[in-house]
Amino acid sequence: MLNSLRPYLTRLLTPVGEALARTPVTPNAITITGTCGMVAGALWLFPTGHLFAGTMVCTFFVLADMLDGVLARIKGTSGAWGAFLDSTLDRIGDAAVFAGLAIWLARTGQGALAVVALFCLVAGGLVSYAKARAEGLGVRCDVGIAERTERLLIGLTSAGLSGLGVPYVLAIGLWVLAVLSAVTFGQRVHAVHVATRRGDNADPGAAEQSGISQPPAGGTR
């Protein structure tokens, strides 16, 4: 849904990418640095109750992570390995955010809400896996009301506002995110079911080679 904003953010980051293109910095270095920063911020600040500071750190590194794609296009170094690394490390960053929130909620006696945060973590992984697995089978799966951008926006915004003292906002945000993630997963499963039954966009060779029990062949969103 919010992917329509990507072209504007790309144009905003292009001057920075052009400056970095004149340095030895590589897109993969930015990807790894962004993930390390996000994981450190989420697992250090969120569990200790610094929700607003953690949100600011994670948001900075999420935006910085978009720079790797811009730099790769400018340098002409886009490739399968970079795409795989970016998508895989995105999953680690996402997991750190919701794991950090779950730890803080558990430490403050909000066990039920901690379980909701863990559900958001697992559901987000399933949403991404469903798309990657479908694409590995040659089936398009560009559906869903809550892709990664929406999930992070809801999670980080509710955490940041909670850190500023807004009551109930984190609980509302996590419950809304849990529902949207479950719905998105259902949408993707349904889309693949429909596509495979009618044979649209399916690649039998990919299905035969990969097998349904194998892990996804590419990155996830």
> In this model, does residue 215 exceed pLDDT 50?
no
Q: Would residue 90 show up in a list of annotated catalytic residues for this protein? A: yes
* Residue length of the chain: 221
Q: Are 126 and 185 in contact (CB under 8 A)?
A: yes
* Selected residue with higher pLDDT from 16 and 157: 157
Predicted TM-score (pTM) above 0.85: no
- Mean pLDDT of the chain, nearest integer: 85
In this prediction, residue 159 carries a pLDDT of 97
Point out the catalytic residue in the list 65, 68, 90, 94: 90
Q: Where are the domains of the chain?
A: 2-210
What local confidence, expressed as pLDDT, does residue 198 receive? 75
Share above pLDDT 70 across residues of the chain, in percent, rounded to a whole number: 87
**Fold designation for 2-210:** Four Helix Bundle (Hemerythrin (Met), subunit A) (1.20.120)
Determine the distance from the C-alpha atom of residue 200 to the mean position of all C-alpha atoms in its chain, rounded to a whole number: 27
Query: pLDDT tens digits, residue range 24-68?
Result: 888 889 999 999 999 999 999 999 999 999 999 999 998 877 888
Q: What angle do CA 70, 54, 175 make, to 5 degrees?
A: 95
With a cut of 60, say whether residue 2 has pLDDT above it. no
